[in-house]
Amino acid sequence: MTEKFVPEITTELRKDIVRVPEVISQASGIRIFGKKIRSIIFTTDIAIVCNNNANAVIAVYPFTPHPAITKGIIEAANIPVFSGVGGGLTQGTRSAYMSMFAEAQGSIGVVLNAPTPIETVQQVCEVIDIPVISTVTSIYTPIDEKLEAGVSIINISAGKKTAETVAYFRKKYPELPIIATGGPTEEGILATIEAGANAITYTPPSNGKLFSKKMEKYREQERTETE
């Protein structure tokens, strides 16, 4: 089957964006409130949030969740945002309040860390009407009770064993929506998709690395102009 031509509209100022690997388009996607999501960029950097071609943003970070961070990312993004609401250090009522705030600000879903106790999962699921996503770090992460409590998507981040972990949970739950990290190579991403992931999270280069690359380009232009 011949691949359909897809016209692309951009401008000179907006063409230099972070692009997710093309192979992610082979994922089935997860349809949430009518929007099909295949590629999810993993960042809290506002500049990258504003300049990428992913279908959504997953905004989780290694600090206690704060409304100002959630609000800033959602306001800057022009794509759906999955907001981290704790579950490890931050639990219980605070996670439930953060979830309500995230929904009110426009999040398409909330993400709970792997250690989240079942009581916190229940509190969050009781107060919001957007998907609750539970992070999975290995095949040993317990999710049965969490699914029963209302979790509707799992987010697998198991390092080098991510594809293996995806395959394990896909076999156990044939129809469960699964988001997973794909790794830095197209081969790794494809292996994760083939294992059963419906959507892929992509970690972009840091702002520092992107800026370094651009500065090298500027320096090369200067050398060319002076020769």
Cα distances (Å, whole numbers) of residue 217 to 25, 142, 220, 224: 30, 48, 5, 11
What pLDDT score was predicted for residue 215? 83
Q: What is the pLDDT of residues 47-84, one digit of tens each?
A: 999 999 999 999 999 999 999 999 999 999 999 999 99
Residue matched to tokens 């409304």: 67
Of all residues in the chain, what percent carry a pLDDT higher than 90? 79
Q: What is the pLDDT of residues 77-129, one digit of tens each?
A: 999 999 999 988 889 999 999 999 999 999 999 999 999 999 999 999 999 99
Cα distances (Å, whole numbers) of residue 156 to 17, 36, 76, 143: 26, 19, 26, 11
Higher-pLDDT residue of 106, 226:
106
Nearest to 81 by CA among 92, 96, 65, 93: 65
Q: Based on the number of CB atoms within 10 Å of its own CB, is 81 exposed (0-12), middle (13-18) or buried (19 or more)? A: buried
Strands (E), 12-113: 30-32, 35-37, 39-42, 56-59, 81-84, 109-112
* Torsion on CA atoms 153, 158, 160, 163, rounded to nearest 10: -30
Residue matched to tokens 């999710």: 143
What's the CATH code, domain 22-226? 3.20.20.60
8 A C-beta contact, residue 150 and residue 175: no
Higher-pLDDT residue of 12, 156:
156
8 A C-beta contact, residue 185 and residue 214: no
Model confidence, pTM: 0.91
